[in-house]
Amino acid sequence: MAAPPLLTLQDAALTFGGTPLITRADLTIAPGDRTCLVGRNGSGKSTLMKIAAGLVEPDKGRLFVQPGTTIRYLAQEPDFSGFTTTLDFVEAGLAPGDPAHRARYLLESLGMTGEEDPSRLSGGEGRRVALARALAPEPDVLLLDEPTNHLDLPAIEWLEAELKGIRAALVLISHDRRFLSALSRSTVWLDRGETRRIEQGFSGFEAWRDAFLEEEERNQHKLDRKIADEEHWLRYGVTARRKRNVRRLGNLHALRKDRREHRRPVGSVSMQASDVEASGALVVEARGVSKSYGERRIVETLTLRVMRGDRLGIVGANGAGKSTLIKLLTGEIAPDSGEIVLGTNLKPVILDQGRAALEPGMTVTDVLTGGRGDSVTVNGRSRHVIGYLKDFLFAPEQARTPVSVLSGGERNRLLIAKALAQPSNLLVLDEPTNDLDLETLDLLQEMLDDYEGTLLLVSHDRDFLDRVVGSVLVSEGEGRWVEYAGGYTDMLTQRGKGVEARGAAGRKAEPRPERAEPRDKAPPPAGKPKLGFKDQHELKTLPARIEKLEAAIVQLKGILDDPDLYARDPARFEKASATLAQAETELAAAEDRWLELEVLRDG
């Protein structure tokens, strides 16, 4: 018999400022659940999580928590007031009987000492300390709102491993696809005020969501057609009659009411970079470049060439010197030794991580126009600032809004809008994905795919790197930087390990006596890898499996192409959508495995 839910939220609704934010939301968390909560920026995900944590009272709905259940909530902006050290803050979250040593272990694992002054923490440091406090008690339910924000790659990968090992039920909000896919086993989608749940992790969600929206669009098209038919009857079909068919007229009014009340998905961001004359073939070349600050080496004898159209990702732990490296490659600062050669006709645009271009007192319009009028020039064409802002999901009334009241996602979208309006053939993006929702990330990726210039990208988002860049420059420590072909996953395959914390060989997980952890495999011997019997058999059988999966996908898509399926048989539609998502995931994995084995066989 299944254990009863630890937490149940039923039919929750909440209105802000007269506008319904959440209209009908349900959330059920059972022991051991791994659930991701997804939705567009502004859809109410964080608010729904606060309702589940008991921090926000809904207008209606019922929240039930099993007696004795402990819940911990990670807020996006923790309150450190009243604490003199970070260790004090973390220990204050422990309950009687909790192991006191976990507070210090977690802080040290996240690169903190416990002696830091909470009032002087950076955004990334504050996020690490708040994570330590949430994880320390080992609660029954753990609610994490954007836990990877402002974390570097070593911290993200450490956190991912730590969460895989805990017993608590998890609810996650994150824009990091790789993180969600690794940890979730079910998905709750908050869309237009309502929740829908599927018993699949995030890896299967997007295909299911797309199929759902396509079916919804087909149904709306049918409703439009029906309204048009009824209006035609109303205007021309009753002219020969002395009395109107009151019932049919009432049906038309009901259809119109349904059409008005149907809430379409929130609009999409429209992104397009401004074009400019192409740069020279060579964009930047580093010849034996070194840079140090005191005893700390940032770059040591780096030799690198970036050509026109290259997509170079730059990754490393916080403090590795990524921003300094960018400044060197763009000529903003000079190296201590060596030479930086910049190409001809360069028009760089730089989006910096510090968001220095945003002054709190400026309005949204001032950021885009520089305080000069209400127009912005994009691709040589003058556009009214309100029309351009709509492309980035800003409402017209936000044009005069001060920057200080914008959310993190809105600030990031505003800076991206400003950067893309400027003509460029070299785009430098330092952590552009922070606070963006998944759909906006998709559109940013599409824009970068179409961008004809050269891209330098600093990011901790592993999935985004895989989708966008053609090579990755990785900090190896002590100022050494090495370039690897391909995306982040390709770098892992070639390097044999991920990005390490600065000054350490990586973080070790706390031993868990109740769960033995497998030992790391011994490194493969040097030389040409050889295929064992099992690998040879797998290589031989994979083509047939790939062909079978492709045929299944074609069949499933044929089923979902039926425009009446959702209305006629919702259960079959849900099952076909879920099976399609699973088949596409398995096909991608099979193709990747086949390619990996082919490379090993060919040496």
Domain boundaries, the chain: 7-206, 215-261, 282-495, 533-602
Q: What is the CA radius of gyration of the chain?
A: 27
**What pLDDT score does 323 carry?**
86
User: How many Cα atoms sit within 13 Å of 78 on the Cβ side?
Assistant: 31
Q: How far apart are CA 172 and CA 27, in angstroms?
A: 13
251 assigned ligand-binding residue: no
Percent of the chain with pLDDT over 90: 30
**Range with top average pLDDT, 52-66, 260-274, 446-460, 501-515:** 52-66
Containing H/E element for 94? none
Written as one letter, the residue type at 20 is P
Which has the higher per-residue pLDDT, 505 or 583?
Answer: 583
**What pLDDT score does 506 carry?**
38
Stretch 462-491: mean pLDDT: 90
> pLDDT-derived band of residue 275, with 50, 70 and 90 as boundaries?
low
In this structure, are residues 426 and 279 in contact, taking their beta carbons and an 8 Å threshold? yes
**What pLDDT score does 501 carry?**
66
- What is the phi/psi pair of residue 191, to 5°? -140, 120
Domain 533-602 class in CATH: mainly alpha
Stretch 512-525: mean pLDDT: 38
pLDDT at 86 > cutoff 60: yes
First to last CA, the chain: 52
Which has the higher per-residue pLDDT, 146 or 523?
Answer: 146
Place of tokens 């062909």: 547
316 assigned ligand-binding residue: yes
Q: How far apart are CA 555 and CA 561, in angstroms?
A: 10
43 assigned ligand-binding residue: yes
44 assigned ligand-binding residue: yes
Sequence-ordered list of residues with C-beta below 8 angstroms from that of 153, at least 6 positions apart, any chain:
315, 316, 317, 460, 462, 498, 499
**What pLDDT score does 595 carry?**
67
12 assigned ligand-binding residue: no
Long-range contacts of 284-287 (CB under 8 A, 24+ apart): 284/329, 284/330, 284/340, 284/341, 284/342, 284/343, 285/340, 285/341, 286/328, 286/329, 286/335, 286/338, 286/339, 286/340, 287/338, 287/339, 287/340, 287/341
Percent of the chain with pLDDT over 70: 81
Q: How far apart are CA 22 and CA 194, in angstroms?
A: 7
Q: How far apart are CA 390 and CA 413, in angstroms?
A: 11
Q: Is 473 exposed, middle or buried (0-12, 13-18, 19+ CB in 10 A)?
A: buried
Q: How far apart are CA 354 and CA 321, in angstroms?
A: 14
Stretch 42-70: mean pLDDT: 92
Written as one letter, the residue type at 182 is A
Stretch 489-493: mean pLDDT: 87
331 assigned ligand-binding residue: no
418 assigned ligand-binding residue: no
Domain 7-206 matches domain 282-495 at the CATH topology level: yes
> pLDDT-derived band of residue 53, with 50, 70 and 90 as boundaries?
very high
Which tokens belong to 476? 């190896």
Q: Closest Cα partner for 118 from 108, 127, 106, 109?
A: 127
| Total-model pTM | 0.69
Alpha helices for 166-245 (secondary structure H) = 177-183, 202-232
How many CB atoms are located within 10 Å of the residue 187 CB? 24
pLDDT at 511 > cutoff 60: no
**What pLDDT score does 10 carry?**
95
Stretch 239-260: mean pLDDT: 51
Q: Closest Cα partner for 520 from 532, 534, 506?
A: 506
Report helix, strand or coil for 239: coil
41 assigned ligand-binding residue: yes
**What pLDDT score does 601 carry?**
66
**What pLDDT score does 512 carry?**
42
Written as one letter, the residue type at 107 is L
319 assigned ligand-binding residue: yes
Task: Tally helices (H) and strands (E) across the chain.
Answer: 18, 20
**What pLDDT score does 515 carry?**
35
- What is the phi/psi pair of residue 358, to 5°? -105, 110
**What pLDDT score does 304 carry?**
93
Q: How far apart are CA 86 and CA 293, in angstroms?
A: 28
Q: How far apart are CA 399 and CA 242, in angstroms?
A: 54
Which of 111-120, 214-223, 419-428 is least confident? 214-223
Which of 383-387, 466-470, 593-597 is least confident? 593-597
322 assigned ligand-binding residue: yes
CATH architecture of 282-495: 3-Layer(aba) Sandwich (3.40)
Q: Strands 60-65 and 7-16: what pairing?
A: antiparallel
Which has the higher per-residue pLDDT, 262 or 359?
Answer: 359
> pLDDT-derived band of residue 245, with 50, 70 and 90 as boundaries?
low
39 assigned ligand-binding residue: yes
**What pLDDT score does 401 carry?**
85
Q: Closest Cα partner for 78 from 116, 40, 154, 134?
A: 134
pLDDT at 73 > cutoff 80: yes
In this structure, are residues 282 and 308 in contact, taking their beta carbons and an 8 Å threshold? yes
CA distances from 577 to 8, 565, 590 (A): 26, 11, 20
How many CB atoms are located within 10 Å of the residue 434 CB? 21
- What is the phi/psi pair of residue 483, to 5°? -95, 135
Which has the higher per-residue pLDDT, 531 or 77?
Answer: 77
**What pLDDT score does 93 carry?**
86
> pLDDT-derived band of residue 251, with 50, 70 and 90 as boundaries?
low
Report helix, strand or coil for 307: strand
**What pLDDT score does 285 carry?**
93
Per-residue pLDDT tens for 407-441?
A: 777 788 888 888 888 888 899 988 888 777 787 78
pLDDT at 585 > cutoff 90: no
Which one is the CATH code of 7-206: 3.40.50.300, 3.40.30.10, 2.40.50.140, 3.20.20.70?
A: 3.40.50.300
In this structure, are residues 143 and 73 in contact, taking their beta carbons and an 8 Å threshold? yes
Q: Is 568 exposed, middle or buried (0-12, 13-18, 19+ CB in 10 A)?
A: exposed
**What pLDDT score does 239 carry?**
45
User: How many Cα atoms sit within 13 Å of 499 on the Cβ side?
Assistant: 30
357 assigned ligand-binding residue: no
Place of tokens 């829908």: 196
pLDDT at 520 > cutoff 50: no
> pLDDT-derived band of residue 61, with 50, 70 and 90 as boundaries?
very high
Q: Strands 337-342 and 381-384: what pairing?
A: unpaired
Stretch 468-490: mean pLDDT: 90
**Range with top average pLDDT, 86-100, 344-358, 383-397, 574-588:** 86-100
**Range with top average pLDDT, 311-325, 387-401, 430-444:** 311-325
42 assigned ligand-binding residue: yes
The whole-chain average pLDDT of the chain stands at 80
> pLDDT-derived band of residue 249, with 50, 70 and 90 as boundaries?
low
> pLDDT-derived band of residue 56, with 50, 70 and 90 as boundaries?
very high
CA distances from 268 to 41, 67, 432 (A): 11, 43, 18
> pLDDT-derived band of residue 240, with 50, 70 and 90 as boundaries?
very low
Q: Strands 7-16 and 19-29: what pairing?
A: antiparallel
81 assigned ligand-binding residue: no
**What pLDDT score does 67 carry?**
93
Which has the higher per-residue pLDDT, 60 or 263?
Answer: 60
Written as one letter, the residue type at 513 is P
496 assigned ligand-binding residue: no
Q: How far apart are CA 186 and CA 193, in angstroms?
A: 19
182 assigned ligand-binding residue: no
- What is the phi/psi pair of residue 197, to 5°? -120, 140
Per-residue pLDDT tens for 182-202?
A: 999 999 999 888 999 999 999
